[in-house]
Amino acid sequence: MPPTAADHTAFAAQALSRVRAHSPLVQCLTNSVVTGFTANVLLALGASPAMVDIPGEAGPFAEVASGVLVNLGTPHAEQRSAMVEAAQAAGSAGTAWVLDPVAVGALPVRTALARELLELRPTVVRGNASEIIALAGAGGGGRGVDASDGVEAAGEAARRVADATGGVVAVSGPVDLITDGTRTARIANGDPLLTRVTGGGCALGAVMAAYAAVDEDRFASTVAAVTAYTVAAELAAKQAAGPGSFAVAFLDALAALRESDIAERAAVS
């Protein structure tokens, strides 16, 4: 029988402990706006960040890293070369890597790069609905980094991308959708304040890489990563007065997150 929502919740709770026990080394080739926040999120979770994103270093490091994040938020020329180098090396080494195709569709340089990287078969693709639709060749993207499409509208596009890569696709939104082309899960946790902190979405890609590094079932590990992240957001929102205090509370909530918090609060279907 396929796993139930209760099975995924139990897996997510246990996966948190595995991440902390293994402290995966996550290489982040990410955008300049979110580097510090992404590193702090990984540290709070119990993983180890490494921002190695220049040609000549990115490939060798990807071979020894536990997981890799490739985020296209601010892809200058040198970093674009490093991203391809890291993705190729990760693929050769069997290292799990996550592609976050930020603002693809309307912007030609990153769209071409995203399609090149997609051919290298990322383990997980994470984006908002408009980005996933554009990546599947079915739309022109959103409004900059913001989605103009609903999550459910991206369901078929997500399945097509998953089929093309042989990996997992996560569509972020009020209710996150995760699919590997065959299995699909939805997670209804989170808080709107997460969208008002720079890096709130981008750092999730790094968390997915950390989780993928410690579990071979990458669909289940992606569900677990999103569940932990969004449950922590709910707990942080209870302590926050606004986006500034939320950002601090979110790091604290990730660090203090317990298996029991996930078991009690996860809304997986």
Per-residue pLDDT of the chain (269 residues; tens, 9 = 90+): 678 889 999 999 999 999 999 999 999 999 999 999 999 999 999 999 999 999 999 999 999 999 999 999 999 999 999 999 999 999 999 999 999 999 898 899 999 999 999 999 999 999 999 999 999 987 655 555 555 568 999 999 999 999 999 999 999 999 999 999 999 999 999 999 999 999 999 999 999 999 999 999 999 999 999 999 999 999 999 999 999 999 999 999 999 999 999 999 999 99
Q: Is residue 66 part of an annotated ligand binding site?
A: no
Looking from the CA of 38 toward its CB, the CA atoms found within 13 Å total 29
| pLDDT attached to residue 140 | 56
Number of domains in the chain: 1
The torsion angle over the Cα atoms of residues 224, 227, 232 and 234, rounded to 10 degrees, is -170
199 is in an annotated binding site: yes
pLDDT of amino acid 141: 56
The residue segments making up the domain with residue 33 are: 5-265
Q: What pLDDT score was predicted for residue 137?
A: 87
Query: Residue 61: helix, strand or coil by DSSP?
Result: helix
- The pLDDT of residue 106: 80
Write out the two tokens for 98.
Answer: 């996550």
- Please check if 126 is assigned to a binding site: yes
State the Cα–Cα distance between residues 211 and 217, nearest whole angstrom.
Answer: 10
Beta-strand ranges (E) seen in the chain are 25-29, 48-50, 67-71, 96-100, 124-128, 168-172, 176-179, 184-187
Query: Is residue 167 annotated as involved in ligand binding?
Result: no
Phi and psi, residue 139, nearest 5° = -170, 170
pLDDT at position 148 = 54
CATH of the domain at 203: 3.40.1190.20
Token pair listed for 189: 């946790």
